[in-house]
A = this chain, B = another copy of it.
Amino acid sequence: MDLGKVFRALADDSRRQVVAELAADTEDRERACGSFDLPVKKAARTHHFRVLREAGMIMQRDHGNGSAVSLPRQDIERHLPGLLQLLSEELKSGSATGRTGNTAAG
């Protein structure tokens, strides 16, 4: 696991929100890509999921008509212990969903 890729992936609010929501679900349920309330259009969302996938932060499964993501929790916990805890705690305190961070073109 490349820490650089991981931190670059988690530097974005939308991506951090995705991982945080997955991490906050202790049952590790698979979620549809569209089920995340992200303030971006489809294409950008696809981009974010790609970055997260390449950083090893999510697994993505193709349904043909749609696709779903899930959290490789054990893998992450083994290589980056404590990380998911940080993310889900940020989610609870409302920082990531509050949209206080970076937004580029808008």
Contacts and interface: CB of A to CB of B under 8 A. Distances in A.
A83 B10 CA distance: 14
Copies of this protein in the complex: 2
**A-side interface mostly:** helix
A3 B95 contact: yes
A10 B7 contact: yes
> Chain A contact residues (Cβ within 8 angstroms of B): what range?
20 to 34
A32 interface: no
Interface of A: 2-4, 7-8, 10-11, 13, 16, 80-83, 85-87, 90, 95-96, 100-102
11 contacts: A3-B10, A3-B87, A4-B96, A4-B101, A4-B102, A7-B11, A8-B11, A8-B102, A80-B86, A82-B85, A82-B86
